[in-house]
Chain A
Amino acid sequence: MKRIKFLLVVSVLVLALGIASLGVMAADKLPVVIGLQGPITGPYAVEGEMTKQCVEIAAQMINEKGGILDGRMIEIRVADDACQPKAGALAAMKLITQKDVVAAIQTYGSFVVLPASDIYEKFEKVNIAYGATITDLTERGLKYFFRTCGRTDTQAAFFADKVVPFFDAKKIAIMNNNTSFSVGLAEETREALKSKIDAGEVEIVYFDAINPEETDFTVPLTKLRETNPDVFYYTGHFPEAGLIIRQAREIGIEATFIGGDAVVNEDFINIAGIEYAKGVYQTQEALIEYFTNPEAMAFKEAYKAKYGTLPSSPWSVYAADALCVLAEAIDKTGSTDSDDIADYLRNKMDKFPSITGPIGFDEIGDRVGSSINLYVVNEDGSSSICDTK
């Protein structure tokens, strides 16, 4: 009796397997798997969540049009790095060791991208960064590394050449939060201001770092207050920036507050309170709400239909861009080989119409032409572009 039962179970299992494999046969083709490494948990989990949503929307849009490589669907496989360099290296390994992952979109935070990109390089996987702007990243001669976002030195130059004259600022305070991105932007800004400093037009009266894990910034802010700056440029991230603007105003700093490109989003406004957030400026890569090209309109519509709002971070949209260029490269080369994809991205892709406008890559893997603007937070929490000429 026992034996019969056993045989029955086995035959049911075999049958089930058979049907399952038939199911795969029916779908005909295996999906093309693209890895997404992002901060799904940790202090920047809000970025990770938004990024996952954006990339999934982009995948959905491509799949609805019939996929790539004659009807193969795109599948996203997520690896969480919690925005930590060590976890980032593990997440990269996790994606690499899954043989069906063709290429990876990786992650928010330059200091996480830095070690992870080395690992992808070693195992010859194309990886596209979406939220990593420090200049050095693409200067290391990597073959498989690209990025769809801009570089800090462009932003620093924008600050020096456009923002400083816009406010007619003489005394400038610069504060960073000791992460590689933030220190990078602060130092590049100081570098970009050098000619003006030498000419005696402007002066950097404060240049220091804070620890983003803290919640009390009154000491550094008191020091900053004593230098009496015209503009206060904060190059760190949104969670502590909300506290900084509030505490700065409370101890009586009246300087114009300008954030770097990781400062303003809805959480910043929530933490600072709208009474302090309004009138805050930000040097920022273009936000999705200002794009009107057909690809952006389609993306916005699909995203809004599913989540009700628009993604408030530019980086998440760059991740969706990364998926679009990867899909295009795989489709056009008809190959999932890393060398073919990398070669296509570097040498053949030219003004590919993606969500944030035409995309191409230069020799070292940087995106050609990305635009930076000065935004200001309005009374209702929305942002508008300032005319910096």
Chain B
Amino acid sequence: MKIVLEQLLNGLTIGSFYALIALGYSMVYGVMKLINFAHGDLFALGSYLGYTLLVFGSTYATVTFGIWGGMIAAMLVAAIGIGIAGTLIERIAYRPIYSVGRLPAVVSALGASIVIQNGIMVVWGPRPQAYTSQVVPSVMLNIGGIKITLMQIVVLVISFILMGLLFYIVQKTTFGAAIRACALDRSTAALMGINIETIIFFIFALGPALGGMAGVMVGMYYRKISFTMGWNYGLKAFTATILGGIGNIPGAMIGGLLLGILEMLGSVYISTAYKDVFVFLILILVLIFRPTGLLGEKVAEKV
């Protein structure tokens, strides 16, 4: 029982990373019908930005603002930096080719992904970097025999706050209604007086910003970051997006959390070596029996 609880908690932690990244995929897909394959690498870039702030000038940020202040500063820097990077990518890699259809944009996304990944390697070097113990709180808690780290709780709390905030914006505000309208039908939304440009700018800033913050949290939780990390997380988060229903924002959150938990339980009860097989098996089953994902609605394809 103890092990199951511990693993549920671990699964939830990983799941919240997946969920935060999945939100970026889902938001962009919802409005643009484009799979932003550079998203995973933006996540990695966010991790490196946060890392740079924390180790800059012999941990200046941590010394000045304290360990928690440093952490929040790192997340803010990553969020802003990656928000800008996301909109830049939209300008450079996607906007010029929107008119020629969706497939070239996907190829362009893959290209952007390679550029970012190798850019990270050129700037920060090929070796893995580490968030050192001076900049990350390292506290172990023992609650009724269950061992958890303080970071786990922090990650869960921050992720849920961020997800709640996004959920509120999208579901309850006028601006959110505009986003949802764009996702339903872009041309009609434009006729209704919604400024599509602003919406696109917003989703390409907000989605990657969430990913960037997830990047900093992954760095703080695991300590090791590498320039190739974006691919693996990106793929899992993409799976989570499909699982929850692509284009659906609550779907991405639930898909991410579910995937993290399933992955953990799968490796506890089946086999660790077959963990990924298990994850992708779920994906295949969902695609066969419920191609729209758990929360996705059937949308007729416009021709």
**A interface with B by C-beta (< 8 Å):** 41-43, 45-46, 48-49, 178, 208-211, 213-216, 218-220, 222-223, 226, 239, 242-243, 246, 250-252, 267, 270-271, 273, 275
Q: Which of B14, B128, B138, B226 contacts A216 (CB 8 A)?
A: B14
- Complex: how many Å from CA A218 to CA B264? 9
**B171, CB-defined interface residue at 8 Å:** no
**B297, CB-defined interface residue at 8 Å:** no
**B132, CB-defined interface residue at 8 Å:** yes
The 7 closest A-B pairs by CB, nearest first: A45-B126, A46-B127, A219-B267, A270-B130, A220-B272, A215-B222, A271-B224
Asked if A216 and B132 make an inter-chain contact with CB atoms under 8 angstroms apart, the answer reads: no
**B52, CB-defined interface residue at 8 Å:** no
Instruction: Decide yes or no: A218 and B272 within 8 Å by CB, A243-B222, A243-B223 being known contacts.
Output: no
Q: In the complex, how many residue pairs between chain A and chain B have their CB atoms under 8 Å apart? A: 88
Q: Which of B3, B128, B147 contacts A252 (CB 8 A)?
A: B147
Q: Which of A211, A216, A252 contacts B222 (CB 8 A)?
A: A216
Shortest beta-carbon distance from A225 to chain B in Å: 9
- Interface size of B by CB at 8 A reads 32
Instruction: Decide yes or no: A42 and B228 within 8 Å by CB, A49-B126, A220-B267 being known contacts.
Output: yes
* Nearest-neighbor residue (CB-CB) of B267 within chain A: A219
- Complex: how many Å from CA A72 to CA B133? 51
1/0 contact string of B216-230 vs chain A (CB within 8 Å): 001000111010110
- Complex: how many Å from CA A46 to CA B227? 12
Specify which chain A residues have a CB less than 8 angstroms from the CB of B290 in the assembled complex. Answer: none
Specify which chain B residues have a CB less than 8 angstroms from the CB of A246 in the assembled complex. Answer: 223
**B121, CB-defined interface residue at 8 Å:** yes
**B59, CB-defined interface residue at 8 Å:** no
Asked if A222 and B6 make an inter-chain contact with CB atoms under 8 angstroms apart, the answer reads: yes
**B interface with A by C-beta (< 8 Å):** 3, 6-7, 10, 14, 121, 126-130, 132-133, 138, 140, 147, 149, 218, 222-224, 226, 228-229, 232, 264, 267-268, 272-273, 275-276
Q: Which of B130, B264, B272, B276 contacts A208 (CB 8 A)?
A: B272
Asked if A46 and B126 make an inter-chain contact with CB atoms under 8 angstroms apart, the answer reads: yes
Asked if B128 and A271 make an inter-chain contact with CB atoms under 8 angstroms apart, the answer reads: yes
List 25 interface pairs A-B (beta carbons < 8 Å), by A numbering. Answer: A49-B126, A178-B273, A208-B272, A208-B273, A209-B273, A210-B272, A215-B218, A216-B14, A219-B272, A220-B267, A220-B272, A222-B6, A222-B7, A223-B268, A226-B3, A239-B128, A243-B223, A243-B224, A246-B223, A250-B147, A270-B130, A271-B223, A271-B224, A273-B132, A273-B138
Specify which chain A residues have a CB less than 8 angstroms from the CB of B7 in the assembled complex. Answer: 218-219, 222
* Nearest-neighbor residue (CB-CB) of A273 within chain B: B133
- Complex: how many Å from CA A226 to CA B272? 15
- Complex: how many Å from CA A48 to CA B121? 14
* Nearest-neighbor residue (CB-CB) of B218 within chain A: A215
Specify which chain A residues have a CB less than 8 angstroms from the CB of B218 in the assembled complex. Answer: 215
Shortest beta-carbon distance from B170 to chain A in Å: 29
- Complex: how many Å from CA A179 to CA B229? 19
Q: Which of A214, A267, A273, A275 contacts B128 (CB 8 A)?
A: A267
Specify which chain A residues have a CB less than 8 angstroms from the CB of B3 in the assembled complex. Answer: 222, 226
Q: Which of B6, B126, B224 contacts A218 (CB 8 A)?
A: B6
- Complex: how many Å from CA A239 to CA B224? 8
* Nearest-neighbor residue (CB-CB) of A275 within chain B: B133
Specify which chain A residues have a CB less than 8 angstroms from the CB of B228 in the assembled complex. Answer: 42-43
Specify which chain A residues have a CB less than 8 angstroms from the CB of B223 in the assembled complex. Answer: 242-243, 246, 271, 273
Please name 14 further chain A to chain B contacts, defined as beta carbons within 8 Å, in addition to the given A239-B224, A270-B132, A273-B138, sorted by A numbering. A46-B127, A208-B273, A215-B224, A219-B7, A219-B275, A222-B6, A239-B226, A243-B223, A243-B224, A251-B6, A267-B130, A270-B128, A270-B129, A273-B223
Specify which chain B residues have a CB less than 8 angstroms from the CB of A41 in the assembled complex. Answer: 121, 126
* Nearest-neighbor residue (CB-CB) of B127 within chain A: A46
* Nearest-neighbor residue (CB-CB) of A178 within chain B: B273
- Complex: how many Å from CA A226 to CA B224? 26
Specify which chain A residues have a CB less than 8 angstroms from the CB of B126 in the assembled complex. Answer: 41-42, 45-46, 48-49
Asked if B268 and A219 make an inter-chain contact with CB atoms under 8 angstroms apart, the answer reads: yes
Asked if A242 and B226 make an inter-chain contact with CB atoms under 8 angstroms apart, the answer reads: no
Shortest beta-carbon distance from B55 to chain A in Å: 11
Specify which chain A residues have a CB less than 8 angstroms from the CB of B232 in the assembled complex. Answer: 213-214
Instruction: Decide yes or no: A45 and B127 within 8 Å by CB, A216-B14, A246-B223, A250-B140 being known contacts.
Output: yes
- Complex: how many Å from CA A46 to CA B268? 33
* Nearest-neighbor residue (CB-CB) of B14 within chain A: A216
* Nearest-neighbor residue (CB-CB) of B151 within chain A: A250
- Complex: how many Å from CA A181 to CA B275? 21
Shortest beta-carbon distance from A307 to chain B in Å: 14
- Complex: how many Å from CA A42 to CA B125? 11
- Complex: how many Å from CA A349 to CA B130? 44
- Complex: how many Å from CA A333 to CA B34? 62
Q: Which of B121, B140, B264 contacts A219 (CB 8 A)?
A: B264
- Complex: how many Å from CA A49 to CA B6? 40
- Complex: how many Å from CA A115 to CA B39? 34
* Nearest-neighbor residue (CB-CB) of B260 within chain A: A216
* Nearest-neighbor residue (CB-CB) of A46 within chain B: B127
* Nearest-neighbor residue (CB-CB) of A266 within chain B: B127
* Nearest-neighbor residue (CB-CB) of A208 within chain B: B272
Specify which chain B residues have a CB less than 8 angstroms from the CB of A219 in the assembled complex. Answer: 7, 10, 264, 267-268, 272, 275
